[in-house]
Amino acid sequence: MLGDMATTTRNELGEFLRSRRERLSPEQAGLSLGMTIRRVPGLRREELAQLAGVSAGYYTRLEQGASHAASPAVLDALAAALQLDDAEHKHLRALAAPPRRARRRARRSVLRPAIGDLLDTFDDVAAVVIDHRTDVIGWNRLGHALLAGHLDPRAPEEPVRPNIARLLFLDSHHRALYRDWRAKALMTVSALHQEAARHPDDVGLEHLVGELTVASSEFAAMWSQRPIRVCASAVRELDHPEVGRMRLTNETLSLPDDDQQLGLFHARRGTPDHEALILLASLAGQRAAVESTAPAEMRTHA
């Protein structure tokens, strides 16, 4: 399966073009077809080529993975013909970038001490830092309690870290947290697609996608849809096992120097949602106090 995944990754440009071509109807593209019988969904290859101003043979080679030498002007023309939004256009350009020669080992991401200090300053905001593979490389006490209280709070320091994508699709506790699970899952799959285009040589990312494709039919279906969207801010409806239902704003901030993201979950002060966060923070603090005073041999991992 991983071998198949590598092959798919190498022709992701063609697969992405095909998915968007099949999504666009002739009517949406402004074509007048009269009584023509359609046997394929969306646009035909030659129709898209005509709209983009390239030869049908050239476009066919591009979609079949026989050519990756698409100029920026051609990519822009294809994006316009396919009516891609800004996020999809950017993704198309990333997929068409010249392939790198060397495969990179899955290097372990490092949390900068300054970012770790920053996490600890958030008293009533749940905070988590993830890398481009969605590995959790750090969280504050409230972030751990909100997103993965069933895991050891020191889990990001372990050799195998918690991974948001893996938790969403394979961990029943984390999955049950999101009342809007499908929306969150689609955003996560979208993020992995965009990171795979930016890091086509990352073996660790490829293995994660391969693992989830095998282990989750839902992930495999979403991955094949190639959802591409940008969502730096969203409102999440959560059902937490300790404090109940919450409606939290989820902000995602990029840390460009580290190729990492800081995720924040917060609520307006004075609201029941904020009070629930305060209660959860208090419960997490009480557990941490008990843990710190317990004899080392009696401490257990959550």
**Residue 104 forms beta bridges with which residues?**
202
Q: What is the pLDDT of residue 40?
A: 74
pTM attached to this predicted model? 0.82
Three-class DSSP category at 262: strand
CB contact burial 193-229 (16+ within 10 A = b; e otherwise): bbbbbbbbebebbbebbbbbbeebebbeebbeebbbe
Q: Which two tokens stand for residue 130?
A: 């993830």
Q: 270: phi > 0 → left, psi -120 to 50 → alpha, else beta; which?
A: left
Which DSSP letter does residue 156 get? Answer: G
Task: Write out the residue limits of the CATH 3.30.450.180 domain(s) in the chain.
Answer: 113-298
Instruction: Confirm if 147 and 125 have CB atoms less than 8 A apart.
Output: no
Q: Is domain 2-95 annotated with CATH 1.10.3720.10?
A: no
Q: What is the pLDDT of residue 96?
A: 87
Cβ neighbors of 234 (< 8 A, separation 6 or more) are 183, 187, 249, 250
* CATH fit for domain 113-298, picks 3.40.50.12280, 3.30.450.180, 3.40.50.11900, 3.90.660.10: 3.30.450.180
First to last CA, the chain: 33
Q: What is the pLDDT of residue 247?
A: 98
User: For residue 146, which phi and psi values (nearest 5 degrees)?
Assistant: -75, -45
Q: What is the pLDDT of residues 224-274, one digit of tens each?
A: 999 988 877 899 999 999 999 999 999 999 998 788 999 999 999 999 999
Instruction: Confirm if 17 and 65 have CB atoms less than 8 A apart.
Output: no
Neighbours of 21 (CB within 10 A): 22
Three-class DSSP category at 170: helix
* Residues lower than pLDDT 50 in the chain: 1-9, 300-302
Task: Write out the residue limits of the CATH 1.10.260.40 domain(s) in the chain.
Answer: 2-95
Neighbours of 289 (CB within 10 A): 10
Q: What is the pLDDT of residue 213?
A: 97
